[in-house]
Chain A
Amino acid sequence: MRNFTLPSEELMGSGHLGCQGCGAALAMRYALKAAGDNTIVVIPACCWTIIAGPFPYTSLKVPVLHTAFETAAVAASGVRAALDIQGDTETTVLAWAGDGGTFDIGLQSLSGAAERNENILYICYDNEAYMNTGIQRSGATPYLAWTTTTPEKTPKTEPKKDIMAIMVAHGIPYAATATVAYPDDFIRKVQKAKSIYGTKFLHVLAPCPPGWKAPSEWTIKLSRLAVHTRVFPLYEVEHGERYILNEPKEATTLPVSEYLKLQGRFSHLTEREREAIQELIEKRWQKLLRMVRESS
């Protein structure tokens, strides 16, 4: 891990329109470094609709197809089919969607593509709410978080949807989680996904400074804490069965409050609510450990 060198190829320009400290912008930079220039990116409605730049500009040095909110996986399937029938089976087709386009409105077409095992790489950058429209709750918003549609007096009462479990249940050849705090792990996973035929799904936590109400310089810190507090464990699942845990070497388990207290979206929480979140995180962690044990 210490000997890791970031690929020098830059396929994303600095003139993008992401906010300061945008986790999703950094995630794209890493993903493209790993995927390489023989890649076509399909972007549904999401923050990246804006980040990529308005006509006639683009911040990416690879082709981009913008498409409707709920269609990332299926539009990517169409691109794949067109390339295949024209004899190009090498180009990587990368569907790049936010959590709203993945957990909610795009879930049907994503499920369809996964069921057909379309040869695409689908990366969900998860900033845990509809950030592009101004921070409304999504199926990815964590338990008790504030958003503009879950105000502090009635924060989100449902836990975050387990999108990895849903994707794993499709039996796709590869599903993994990643964060921008561990680019080595992230890039390895994109490269691994690229080498596998079929539907590959990456779930990337992408801190959003304005949406999470956190300083922009804490994106990496929050990403790292998300792993260390087990809010967002790093793991891979092969063929819907084989679970592999990728705990960073320096991992020390921290209480979830260390993660929550840095973010304004959780500032309304009582001690009891923080404990309830801790219990939820622990329950999901134990479930993950069980899956790892059972599959090894």
Chain B
Amino acid sequence: MTPTLTGTKKVVTGNHAVSYGVMLARAQVISAYPITPQTQIVELLSEMCATGALRAKFIKVESEHSAMAALIGAASAGARTFTATSAHGLALMHEMLHWAAGARLPIVMANVNRAMGPPWSVWTDQNDSLSQRDTGWMQVYCESNQEVLDSVIQAYRVAERVFMPAMLVLDAFVLSHTAEQIEIPDQSLVDEYLPPYRPIYKLDPNDPRSFGALAPPDVYMELRYKMHQAMEDALDEWARADEEFSELFGRRYGLIEPYRADDAKILLVTSGTVTSTAREVIDELRAEGRRVGLLKIRVFRPFPAQLVREALRNAEKAAVIDRNISFGMGGIFAQEIKSALYNSSECPPIFGFVAGLGGRDITPKAIREIIDYTESHDEPQDLIWVGVKR
């Protein structure tokens, strides 16, 4: 189970793709608490630590809150760090997510998208990660197991350049427990791509400094301004990281990815694994001669507003599929996209669809219906529930 070879093809689950990414990134301190459907990530990492495939300290803490607190300590002392969680675990971490970002620590975490209880659910939706939108964490939504592994490596690279933490997001079961053939990159190439973490400041008795002390109103706002600037810089860093990644490994993902979007009258906007289903549907509809395309949002924070504006500029309408709900408003991706477009002169009507909550399948048929609905209605609607039994 524990790898000895890299630069090979292997059939692995999305969860194990995360573990391999963390191993190749040479994380030094890992801290985690078990939660379904994330657990396989840290199981394999435990084994990698035990066999020496990964030279890291693994702190098996008593809660997710403590997992993040441990990494805050470890990253403050100069280590490359990793944790994985899901749903309630992520929610429990909330306070420390703010702390990690405010402390400008490039911690990388995988969050397996799982619906929040009650009622209990272990199946996928995005409300857990999107509830952490404003904590200062970068968020990357993955579509395939290869993308998961590659994004872990890219995330360290970007996080350590802008000093902001990064969250990899993958759908419960649809990705986390589904095996695909992926390429495990060669370690020496990863080392070339991702040099060891070198913090500007760290806890060091030879250079004693105070971290996180009380900041009066005359300095606090500047620190927040710098966090926002770092997020703006991260847009370029993600593009650069992706570009250089493709030069070394031959794969790239973009911050967003338009698919058959040229000349499309209707653009479907997706994130996560529903994107793969949508690709199939778009291919079918294109074969039928319909001018429809797809826009995948991969990097959600920082939000690539300019890229989204350009991608949607020529569409007549856009249909956003949200596997999440902000109660009292609607789908969160739809809100973000509308917000990005509002001040733009070219602003197509946006239809917001909420689908697939709590792991309900978003089928090709449902996606067809979403496109048909968008095509046949002139007035945009903020919130259309897909397949809900009333």
A residues lining the B interface (CB < 8 Å): 37-40, 42, 49-50, 52-58, 60-68, 70-71, 74-86, 91, 108-109, 111-112, 115-116
Q: Which residues of B contact A40 (CB under 8 A)?
A: 77, 203, 205
Of B31, B55, B99, B208, which is within 8 A of A62 by CB?
B208
Q: What would 18 more interface pairs be, CB under 8 Å, given A57-B210, A74-B70?
A: A49-B213, A50-B214, A53-B214, A55-B210, A55-B213, A55-B214, A61-B208, A62-B205, A65-B73, A67-B72, A67-B73, A68-B96, A68-B99, A78-B70, A78-B77, A79-B73, A109-B65, A115-B62
Inter-subunit contact B66/A66 (CB<8 Å): no
User: Residue on A with the closest CB to B67?
Assistant: A74
Inter-subunit contact A60/B210 (CB<8 Å): yes
How close is A101's CB to chain B, nearest CB, in angstroms?
12
Q: Which residues of A contact B66 (CB under 8 A)?
A: 71, 74, 108-109, 112
Q: Mark B185-222, 1 if CB is under 8 A from A, else 0.
A: 00000000000000000011101111111111001000
Inter-subunit contact A85/B56 (CB<8 Å): yes
Please provide the 8 A-B residue pairs with the shortest distance between their CB atoms, ordered closest to farther.
Answer: A78-B73, A112-B62, A66-B212, A82-B77, A71-B69, A82-B79, A78-B70, A75-B73
User: Residue on B with the closest CB to A84?
Assistant: B57
B residues lining the A interface (CB < 8 Å): 28-29, 31, 55-57, 59-63, 65-66, 69-79, 81, 95-96, 99, 203-205, 207-216, 219
Known contacts: A63-B205, A74-B69, A116-B60. The answer to whether A79 contacts B96 by CB under 8 A is no
Inter-subunit contact B216/A67 (CB<8 Å): no
A109-B93 Cα distance, complex, nearest whole Å: 13
Known contacts: A40-B205, A62-B208, A116-B60. The answer to whether A79 contacts B69 by CB under 8 A is no
Q: Which residues of B contact A57 (CB under 8 A)?
A: 210, 213
Inter-subunit contact B60/A39 (CB<8 Å): no
A17-B70 Cα distance, complex, nearest whole Å: 28
Q: Which residues of B contact A84 (CB under 8 A)?
A: 57
Known contacts: A55-B210, A78-B70. The answer to whether A91 contacts B61 by CB under 8 A is no
Inter-subunit contact A112/B69 (CB<8 Å): no
Inter-subunit contact B208/A60 (CB<8 Å): yes
A39-B62 Cα distance, complex, nearest whole Å: 26
Q: Which residues of A contact B216 (CB under 8 A)?
A: 54-55
User: Residue on A with the closest CB to B95?
Assistant: A68
How close is A86's CB to chain B, nearest CB, in angstroms?
6
Inter-subunit contact B203/A79 (CB<8 Å): yes
Q: Which residues of B contact A86 (CB under 8 A)?
A: 28, 77-79
Q: Which residues of A contact B213 (CB under 8 A)?
A: 49, 52-58, 64, 66
Known contacts: A54-B214, A68-B99. The answer to whether A79 contacts B74 by CB under 8 A is yes
Of B55, B60, B95, B203, which is within 8 A of A65 by CB?
B203
Q: Which residues of A contact B65 (CB under 8 A)?
A: 70-71, 109
Inter-subunit contact A63/B203 (CB<8 Å): yes
Inter-subunit contact B29/A58 (CB<8 Å): no
Known contacts: A68-B95, A85-B57, A86-B78. The answer to whether A75 contacts B72 by CB under 8 A is yes
Q: Which residues of A contact B63 (CB under 8 A)?
A: 108-109, 112
A66-B219 Cα distance, complex, nearest whole Å: 17
Inter-subunit contact B214/A63 (CB<8 Å): no
A39-B208 Cα distance, complex, nearest whole Å: 10
Known contacts: A62-B205, A75-B70, A108-B66. The answer to whether A82 contacts B210 by CB under 8 A is no
How close is A31's CB to chain B, nearest CB, in angstroms?
15
List 19 A-B residue pairs with CB atoms under 8 Å apart, sorted by A's residue number: A49-B214, A54-B213, A55-B215, A56-B219, A58-B208, A58-B213, A64-B210, A64-B211, A65-B211, A70-B69, A71-B66, A78-B71, A78-B81, A81-B73, A81-B79, A83-B77, A108-B62, A109-B63, A112-B61
Inter-subunit contact B69/A55 (CB<8 Å): no
Q: Which residues of A contact B79 (CB under 8 A)?
A: 81-82, 85-86
A71-B68 Cα distance, complex, nearest whole Å: 10
Q: Which residues of B contact A83 (CB under 8 A)?
A: 77
